[in-house]
């Protein structure tokens, strides 16, 4: 089973460039999430989508946009990348509000020069 799949796994950008991280899950989950992981800070929620057609801001949404394309796919876009957005990004999904457990992708390492 693929679970949660993220692409690309690695990306290097120059300041000001834009890019989109793609995420797809095949578990028929309602909720999807984007987190960033920085050294010494754990994972911080950027945006989430509780169900198809809805998105909400998390703890650190500035500089990002998201699209819940359908139930399977949830993309994260950086419109004008900044060095502060250098991080490892994780997509996750869960079955719904009352289950708690998240299923994660393998992460995407983004470097902004």
Which segments of the chain are extended strands (E)? Answer: 4-7, 10-13, 19-25, 31-37, 43-49, 56-57, 64-68, 74-78, 87-94, 103-104, 108-112
Contact status: 101 vs other proteins (CB under 8 A): yes
Of residues 24, 25, 31, 78, which one binds other proteins by CB under 8 A?
31
Stretch that binds other proteins, among 17-25, 52-60, 62-70, 75-83 (CB under 8 A): 52-60
Q: Using H for helix, E for strand and C for coil, what is the string for 2-16?
A: CCEEEECCEEEECCC
Contact status: 95 vs other proteins (CB under 8 A): no
Which C-beta is closer to other proteins: that of 16 or that of 96?
Answer: 96
Q: Least distance to other proteins from the beta carbon of 47, Å?
A: 10
Q: How far apart are CA 47 and CA 65, in angstroms?
A: 8
Of residues 48, 87, 93, 112, which one binds other proteins by CB under 8 A?
48
CA dihedral 16, 18, 9, 28 (to 10 degrees): 140
Q: Least distance to other proteins from the beta carbon of 1, Å?
A: 13
Which positions lie near other proteins, rule CB under 8 A? Answer: 31, 33, 40-45, 48, 50, 56, 58-59, 88, 90, 92, 97-98, 100-102, 104-107
């Amino acid at each position: 089973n693929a679970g949660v799949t993220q692409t690309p796994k690695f990306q290097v950008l120059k300041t000001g460039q834009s890019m989109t991280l793609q995420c797809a899950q095949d578990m028929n989950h309602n909720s999807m999430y984007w987190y960033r992981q920085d050294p010494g800070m754990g994972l911080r929620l950027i945006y989430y989508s509780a169900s198809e057609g809805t998105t909400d801001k998390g703890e650190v949404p500035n500089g990002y946009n998201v699209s819940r394309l359908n139930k399977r796919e949830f993309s994260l876009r950086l419109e004008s990348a900044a060095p502060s957005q250098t991080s490892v990004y994780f997509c996750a999904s869960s079955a719904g509000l009352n289950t708690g457990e998240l299923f994660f992708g393998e992460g995407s390492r983004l470097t902004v020069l």
